[in-house]
Structure 1
Amino acid sequence: MSITSNTPVDASSPTPLDNWLALLESRHFKTIDMGVDRVQLVKQRLGLQFACPVIMVAGTNGKGSTCAMLESMLLRAGYKVGLYIKPHFLKFNERAQVNGVSATDEELIASFEAVEAQRGDISLTYFEFTTLAIMHLLASANLEVVILEVGLGGRLDAVNVIDADIAIVTSIDIDHTDYLGDTREKIGFEKAGIFRAGKTAICSDPVPPQSLIDHANAIGADLWLLGRDFNYTGDKQQWNYGGRSQRRNSLGYPSLRGANQLLNASAALAALEALRFQLPVSAQEVRTGLVTVELPARFQVMPGQPLVVLDVAHNPHAAATLGQNLDNMGFHPYTFGIFGAMQDKDIHGILTQLKGRIDHWCVTDLPLPRAATAEQLKQQLQEVGVVAQEAAGAESTIQMFPNPAQAYANALSRAGENDRIVVFGSFVTVAGVMKARKSGFH
């Protein structure tokens, strides 16, 4: 089956790739359908395998940053690197990176057609289908190392049909409780599902659940724990990594800002240490890779005034880190918060972490059935004790908007040049503001 078009299209018209994505979204009866059996069958039909080391990264928070640091350092070392990362902000192509460049529509469509040709009567979710297609694309690209970001959990995630040479779990916290369980022990077990017997398993959570440790030991994985097998130290100028047999001293701080980035960087360096004979990376390549790494919306501070911060904090653990990072920024007279979230998230927990740090709340609807409404978000704010004043010039306000772009425009109209605007919550919230900025709102 092929979805193509010979007629010219303007920039606003659906492309063949758009048509594919719309078809995939409409097909499966569930958005999330946990389990790997169906994906495993299609993978086997495709003959999908990698002829190079594979690094897989799971975690509640920090997995995207860890993937980006690994990619940056390995690219600096001159390797041919593939990266699967998600979700995207402006274009689906962002999810598939080959040597730091997004895949083209044509490359993606060719892999979509390959999956379609092999799936037969097997029904796949949007995520399962696109995951197989992107892994097919990367497996066909003559790469020297592949980095795969897990979507949800680990054990039952579609990415886990691949056996990773290095498996990293960054952090474990309460999120996606409907699918992963409602305790860190249950969630830790799910994430440990990406570990493999005899292979390196890295966990950079400072307090790993016992379930993760037990599972790694039970299957015979080579478990590296923060504080036991690798660690970091540092001061305000530089930091050092120490592993089982390798030290990296006098490192510059990663260009990704935030309190937890040294945990993520340490996990990435542990992975490189485990691969040091297959993929050696020099001290200078590590330094350069860390200080030049880029990843959108992980405490991303945009240039200009008022200051704009983009952060995809969408669970209490990430919100606590965002709050800490905001506290470390120095004084701003007023902070405007643009917030939209999915209704299955712990919205109460997120808002509790940021209560008192935001003066003017701009809560927004999002264009997805799963999303909480602006009205629901306002109610949650009131429940955590945010008291809004309605008068002009009030010190604290809550306003509701139909989309992130209008929320952003309103915040811009009210913010002084020394104030700051924090955009956080769902990726869809941040993407909506990114699009607004691209179209001329600054």
Structure 2
Amino acid sequence: MTTRTTLDDWLRWQEGLHISAIDMGLARVTRVREAMKLQPACPVIMVAGTNGKGSTCAMLSAIFRAAGYKVGTYTSPHILQYNERIAIDLKPASDARIIEAFEAIDAARGDTTLTYFEFGTLAAVHCFVAEKVDVIILEVGLGGRLDAVNIFEPDVSVVVSVDLDHQAILGDNREDIGFEKAGIYRAGKPAICVDPEPPQRLIDHAAEIGADLKLFRRDFGFTRMDNQWSFHSGDYHRHALPIPALRGAYQMSNACGALAALEAIKGKLPVGIGAVKQGLVEVEWPGRFQVLPGRPAVVLDVGHNPHAVKAMTAALKQLPYAETRYAVFSMLADKDMAGVIELARGEFDHWLAAGLDMPRGQSGEAIAQTLKQSGIDNVKAYDTVANAWSAALSQAGDNDRIVVFGSFHTVAEVLEARRHPV
């Protein structure tokens, strides 16, 4: 008899159920899915990418919701609450709904062990089926080919970007990583790639399996004017579109990928121009170059690899002038900190290096030492992100800017500190 009565009970139990936190492969999770007879009847959109996949899922979800469809969206990781991962009509699923899914998975799995992410993936789709959604949007967690999300059959697959991250698992070059992400493509189904320089192995894999590959700039694209833009795919156009509410010039290509997916699936889920415009204006995706209201200016960005931080620094250059620029910075130990620092070094006058007390975390002193070894002098170490954030607030004036970045955990701890100020 289970003693797991709360969502936290279930999540703690899942963390120790399988021998390792990450175990790439589909055999175990497929076995449980088949035991559950879990296969959505509605259209499924699958989205992978080094960066931008969450923003693309958010835009698709907002547009479909504006069009009147019931939408199930699975993303990861969460920032403050696990429930954020499983959204129904843009709202986090309830504890009760998620626990019901966990119970169904546990009853079906027998002696098969699952990772935390595999449990969550099955739970998300179970929730969406139970809620009878009209469309399911699934964000790939890591890679694509061997990610648990890939046990489901997409009607259209989108690879947003391909760059270096998780090299120990996916490979240390764009070609190998591109192949892993192309694993979500399916024979005879629309396969979209938004990366402006698609790896040849991605293109070759799509051709080998007979996927209907659509490439950014070759098959679809956009033209931006001052305060609007237009999308084109072959002879099809959507004109006078609003600039997406999500900040950063890179969001234009994410929006373009979302519209390419809409175009590919319009026979099953038609969407009018009004819903497209409404979704682009109303979309929200916390922690992704999120500019908070008030002074000093505060930017929250979960970017944790060079590709993401390059986009972040470009977006910072578009913001109004700041007299003094503060970075509240922390990264996990297995990330490319040197690459991130090199890209961001010119954007800040003061660095507040914060420790993360968790697996793969490192101390503020260790991060500060790495910054100093990179030639950055104006650095101070703090034991926690909350303390670094508090120090930044006490130092910054109204005309200054604080940027919190380096990890989902870094942003989450600042958001938590803002909810419960000392």
Separation in 2 of the partners of 1:296 and 1:416?
A: 24
Deviates more, 1:292-301 or 1:244-253: 244-253
Unaligned runs of 5+ in 1: 6-15, 389-396
In the other structure, the counterpart of 1:408 is 389
Q: What is the 5 A alignment of 1:192-203?
A: 192-203=182-193
Q: What is the 5 A alignment of 1:75-224?
A: 75-224=65-214
Separation in 2 of the partners of 1:345 and 1:245?
A: 43
In the other structure, the counterpart of 1:417 is 398
Deviates more, 1:150-159 or 1:122-131: 122-131
1:323–1:357 CA contact under 8 A, matched in 2: yes
2:3 aligned with 1:22:
no
1:311–1:425 CA contact under 8 A, matched in 2: yes
Amino acid at match of 1:250: A
2:364–2:384 CA contact under 8 A, matched in 1: no
Consecutive aligned runs of 4 or more in structure 1 exceeding 2 Å deviation: 1-5
2:236 aligned with 1:255:
no
Q: Give secondary structure in 1 for the equivalent of 2:346.
A: coil
Q: Give secondary structure in 1 for the equivalent of 2:403.
A: strand
In the other structure, the counterpart of 1:364 is 354
Give CA-to-partner distance per residue, 1:250-276, whole Å, 9 cap, x none: 111000000210110000000110111
Shift, 1:244, TM fit: 2.5
Shift, 1:27, TM fit: 2.1
Q: Give secondary structure in 2 for the equivalent of 1:248.
A: strand
Which of 38, 60, 64 does residue 48 from structure 1 map onto? Answer: 38
Separation in 2 of the partners of 1:373 and 1:35?
A: 33
Shift, 1:363, TM fit: 1.1
Q: Give secondary structure in 1 for the equivalent of 2:347.
A: coil
In the other structure, the counterpart of 1:436 is 417
Separation in 2 of the partners of 1:29 and 1:341?
A: 25
2:275 aligned with 1:285:
yes
In the other structure, the counterpart of 2:49 is 59
Shift, 1:348, TM fit: 0.3
Separation in 1 of the partners of 2:293 and 2:178?
A: 38
Separation in 2 of the partners of 1:40 and 1:245?
A: 40
Separation in 1 of the partners of 2:74 and 2:57?
A: 9
Identity across the alignment (%): 51
Shift, 1:436, TM fit: 0.5
Shift, 1:245, TM fit: 4.1
Separation in 2 of the partners of 1:244 and 1:169?
A: 19
Separation in 1 of the partners of 2:57 and 2:267?
A: 20
Shift, 1:406, TM fit: 0.9
Give CA-to-partner distance per residue, 1:304-357, whole Å, 9 cap, x none: 111110001100010111111111112101111111111111000011100011
Separation in 2 of the partners of 1:235 and 1:102?
A: 35
Give CA-to-partner distance per residue, 1:371-415, whole Å, 9 cap, x none: 1322221122123221x2xxxxxxxx2111121111100000000
Shift, 1:4, TM fit: 4.8
Shift, 1:2, TM fit: 3.5
TM-score by length of 2: 0.98
Shift, 1:136, TM fit: 1.3
Separation in 2 of the partners of 1:379 and 1:196?
A: 47
Which of 332, 338, 363 does residue 322 from structure 2 map onto? Answer: 332
Separation in 2 of the partners of 1:29 and 1:362?
A: 36
Give CA-to-partner distance per residue, 1:223-250, whole Å, 9 cap, x none: 0100111000112211110013421111
2:301 aligned with 1:320:
no
Shift, 1:440, TM fit: 2.9
Amino acid at match of 1:378: A
Separation in 2 of the partners of 1:373 and 1:184?
A: 31
Amino acid at match of 1:27: L
Give CA-to-partner distance per residue, 1:41-81, whole Å, 9 cap, x none: 11100101011100000000000000000000000000011
Separation in 2 of the partners of 1:345 and 1:197?
A: 34
Deviates more, 1:134-143 or 1:182-191: 134-143
Separation in 1 of the partners of 2:263 and 2:387?
A: 47
Separation in 1 of the partners of 2:174 and 2:77?
A: 24
Separation in 2 of the partners of 1:378 and 1:235?
A: 42
2:67 aligned with 1:71:
no
Amino acid at match of 2:315: N
1:2–1:113 CA contact under 8 A, matched in 2: no
1:199–1:222 CA contact under 8 A, matched in 2: yes
Separation in 2 of the partners of 1:139 and 1:62?
A: 26
Amino acid at match of 2:155: D
Separation in 2 of the partners of 1:247 and 1:290?
A: 16
Amino acid at match of 2:395: R
Shift, 1:3, TM fit: 3.7
Unaligned runs of 5+ in 2: none
Q: Give secondary structure in 1 for the equivalent of 2:202.
A: helix
Size of the alignment, in residue pairs? 422
Deviates more, 1:374-383 or 1:161-170: 374-383
Separation in 2 of the partners of 1:192 and 1:213?
A: 8
Amino acid at match of 2:403: V
Amino acid at match of 1:38: R
Separation in 2 of the partners of 1:223 and 1:267?
A: 13
1:3–1:20 CA contact under 8 A, matched in 2: no
Give CA-to-partner distance per residue, 1:266-301, whole Å, 9 cap, x none: 000001101112111111110111011000011000
